[in-house]
Structure formats: C-alpha cells, structure tokens
C-alpha cells in the first residue's frame, strides 16, 4: 500500500516521533509512505515530500514537525474536497494517516465519509481531545510551564510581587492545572470554572494576611470571567484581539495582563504578568511524549495494514486502543472535576 502522512493544526512536541514510527513500522509491514507538506494545505496544493527511512533518521528528539503544518481547512476552500480527492488519486494513495487535533481530524472525519481510507492520530498540547487519556505534547508543555513557574517563584519572592502566568489551554485547563499543581501555584484559573476578579483578589489577600509576601496565579488563556448570571459553563473570554483562524476560533491571549492590572489596582500589591505562549509548544519532547508518539505511530501503521479504516488510535489507561474516528467530534474533554478538587485544598 502507499500511505500518505500529514500533520495539521498547531505543532506539538512528539509529532516527529509519530512520523518516524509510522514510516518505520509501515516499511517493516511492506508498505510505502509519502509526506504531505503543511497539513491540509499540502493536500489541496499537492505538495508532497519523500518520506522513507532516510528522511526520518535523527528526528526522534526534535520538536516541531519535519512535514510542516498549517491551519488550512479543506472545507473552507471552494471545491476543497474534490481537490483533496484528486491529489490522493494523482499520488496513487491507498491510505492516509492524518495527525492532528479536533480541527484536522474533523476534516478527516468528513473525508472518510467521502470514501478516503484513513486512520487518525490525536494531537494537541491542550490534552482536550475526547476518547484518549493523554495526547503527546501535553507532558512536554506541562514541564516547560512548571519550570517557568519555578523560575517566577524565586523572583516573585525576592521582590514581594504577585506574578500572573498565562499558559495555553483554549477550552480546557489541563496545562494550567498540571503545571499549577506541580509548580505550587497559589491560584489556578481554568476555562471550565469562570472566575471573578473579586474572588481572586480575596484569595491573594488572605494568603498575604497569613504573612506571605508573594503569590503565583496560573491562568489558562481560555479562562473566562464569570458574568452575572454565570453557571460553570458561562462566562466571557478576556481577549486582546478579535482575530479568528480558518476554523473560526478566536485567537486567545490577554487574560494575564488584564488580571495583573486589576490585582495591582485593587490590592495595591506590585503585580507582573508573563505569557508563556509558543515557548510551551517548542523544543524537544519529553521521554513520555516520545514514547506515546512512537506507540501511536506504530499502532496507526498496523491499523492501516489490517485495513481497519475510519479509526483513531488512543491511550486508555496504559493501553493503546483504537476508537471510531467519528467519536471525537463535537465535544471537548474537560479537566477532570476530581483533579480540580485537589487544587482547592491549597487555596488560602
Ligand atoms: O494547538 C492548540 C494551541 O496551542 C492552543 O492552546 C492555542 O490557543 C493555539 O494552539 C495557538 O494557536 P497558534 O499557534 O495558531 O497561535
């Protein structure tokens, strides 16, 4: 079989281990692989690259993706589906392995309905994809965020400051919670629980009343401010821009600055903010992400070999399983409420 491979959406440490594993396992199973450059853009424009043993040599430890990526949406382009099908035909493709998050795999779901034989590999540093306990890249970003919080800790203490750290996490607070708990954050704000500035200030004030001279606030970029009639699902984003990407998502960012200004104004404590941004997505994957990516890649190649299409590989417990790729659509895997409760014991 000839198998196409692509990576779409935001990049993420662990993509190269997946690509390497898909290629190495496919070759061993008697198949050929080619790469599409820049996600679905490469499919629409038929931009391919050879993807054999040589191309994947020495990439296990490298961050990013040797294939390149984009947020191109096949279904936002006129005749996009037709163009994609033509590209597959021209290249004599028998199967496709798209590696991506909800948007990239959302396109894959539609192409599968149009007859494309594919097996998806889940990817996002946000760890918010349904059907899988962990996505690769998440562990690396948590470690980067934790190390940054450790560094902010010492300078916050020296200067008696409040430091507000903004981490990634569009719809779910996995990164904020893990990095916040591992780094000893004093306030952790996640999209699943809209916050009020009054409550955040009261928590910081209580902590300082017990003699502490500094505080660390960890906030997800997608954390929302509670509106008057707020339930846990409601709330509004705090944004510095109204720009949207090809999938219609607003570009998040800005909550840390707004919150830091409010804390300083209301409490009078000197307050600074830090936005970790793409630092969390760059660099070498951790051992956990290299191993998870390798296991996903091998299983995806095996599923293609077994001609079990329309599936997505997933981690459940410590086992790699496969699920119907349609099951990922429409819902977000929110932060486990039991985890959230753990952090509440550390609130002053
Ligand atoms: O891929 C997920 C993610 O890292 C989100 O956490 C973040 O909101 C978004 O991507 C940033 O996207 P971009 O790299 O396009 O700015």
Tell which one of 15, 167, 168, 240 to mutate to probe ligand 1, the residue whose CB is within 8 A of the most ligand atoms. Answer: 168
For the record, the structure tokens of 306 come out as 């077994």
What are the pLDDT digits (tens) for 265-283?
Answer: 999 999 999 999 999 999 9
What are the pLDDT digits (tens) for 109-135?
Answer: 999 999 999 999 999 999 999 999 999
**CB burial of residue 216 (10 Å; 0-12, 13-18, 19+):** buried
Q: Domain range for residue 212?
A: 139-282
Is 151 contained in some domain?
yes
**Given a cut of 70, is residue 102 above it in pLDDT?**
yes
What are the pLDDT digits (tens) for 233-267?
Answer: 556 666 555 566 666 666 666 899 999 999 999 99
Task: Report the nearest-CA residue for atom 3 of ligand 1.
Answer: 10
Cα of 59 vs centre of ligand 1, distance in Å, is 23
What are the pLDDT digits (tens) for 140-199?
Answer: 999 999 999 999 999 999 999 999 999 999 999 999 999 999 999 999 999 999 999 999
- Name 246's Cβ contacts closer than 8 Å, sequence gap at least 6: 71, 72, 73, 76
Whether 71 and 103 have beta carbons less than 8 Å apart is answered as: yes
Positions annotated as catalytic residues are: 126
pLDDT of residue 174: 98
pLDDT of residue 230: 43
pLDDT of residue 232: 45
Q: Do residue 232 and residue 261 come from a single domain? A: yes
SS3 280: helix
Q: Do residue 218 and residue 292 come from a single domain? A: no
Q: How many CA atoms lie within 13 A of 120 on its CB side?
A: 34
Q: Do residue 144 and residue 122 come from a single domain? A: no
Q: Do residue 131 and residue 151 come from a single domain? A: no
- The closest-lying atom of ligand 1 relative to the alpha carbon of residue 9 is 1
Cα of 10 vs centre of ligand 1, distance in Å, is 6
- Residue 202: CB atoms within 10 A of its CB come to 14
Q: Do residue 115 and residue 6 come from a single domain? A: yes
Q: Do residue 133 and residue 19 come from a single domain? A: yes
- Residue 190: CB atoms within 10 A of its CB come to 28
What are the pLDDT digits (tens) for 11-69?
Answer: 999 999 999 999 999 999 999 999 999 999 999 999 999 999 999 999 999 999 999 99
The pocket around ligand 1, CB under 6 angstroms, is made up of: 9-10, 101, 124-126, 168-170, 221, 252, 281
Rounded to whole angstroms, how far apart are CA atoms 217 and 219? 6
CATH number of 103's domain: 3.40.50.450
What's the rounded mean pLDDT across residues 307-329?
A: 96
Whether 337 and 175 have beta carbons less than 8 Å apart is answered as: no
Q: Do residue 132 and residue 22 come from a single domain? A: yes
pLDDT of residue 248: 65
Is 89 contained in some domain?
yes
Core vs surface per residue 102-124: b (16+ CB within 10 A) or e: bbbbbbbbebbeeebbbbbbbbb
């Amino acid at each position: 079989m000839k198998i196409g491979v692509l990576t779409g959406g935001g990049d993420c440490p662990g993509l190269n281990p997946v690509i390497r594993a898909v290629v190495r396992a496919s070759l061993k199973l008697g198949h050929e692989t080619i790469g599409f450059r820049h996600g679905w853009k490469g499919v629409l424009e038929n931009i391919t690259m050879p993807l054999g043993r040589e191309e994947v040599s020495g990439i296990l430890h490298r961050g990013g993706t040797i294939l390149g990526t984009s947020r191109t949406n096949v279904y936002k382009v006129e005749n996009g589906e037709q163009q994609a099908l033509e590209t597959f035909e021209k290249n004599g493709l028998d199967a496709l392995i798209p590696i991506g998050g909800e948007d990239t795999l959302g396109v894959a779901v539609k192409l599968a309905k149009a007859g494309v034989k594919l097996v998806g590999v889940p990817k996002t540093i946000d760890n918010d994809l349904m059907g899988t306990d962990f996505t690769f890249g998440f562990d690396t970003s948590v470690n980067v965020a934790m190390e940054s919080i450790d560094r902010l800790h010492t300078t916050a203490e020296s200067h008696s400051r409040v430091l507000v750290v903004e981490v990634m996490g569009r719809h779910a607070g996995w990164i904020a919670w893990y990095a916040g708990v591992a780094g000893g954050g004093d306030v952790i704000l996640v999209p699943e629980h809209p916050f009020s500035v009054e409550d955040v200030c009261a928590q910081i004030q209580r902590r300082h009343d017990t003699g502490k001279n500094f505080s660390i606030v960890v906030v997800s970029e997608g954390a929302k401010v509670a509106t008057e009639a707020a339930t846990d699902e409601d709330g509004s984003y705090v944004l510095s821009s109204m720009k949207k990407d090809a999938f219609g998502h607003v570009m998040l960012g800005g909550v840390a600055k707004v919150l830091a200004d409010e804390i300083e104004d209301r409490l009078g404590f000197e307050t600074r903010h830090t936005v970790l941004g793409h630092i969390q997505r760059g660099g070498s994957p951790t051992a956990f992400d290299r191993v998870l990516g390798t296991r996903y890649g091998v299983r995806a190649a095996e599923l293609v070999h077994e001609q079990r299409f329309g599936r997505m590989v997933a981690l459940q417990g410590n086992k790699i399983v496969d699920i119907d790729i349609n099951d990922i659509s429409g819902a977000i895997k929110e932060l486990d409420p039991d985890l959230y409760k753990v952090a509440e014991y550390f609130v002053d």
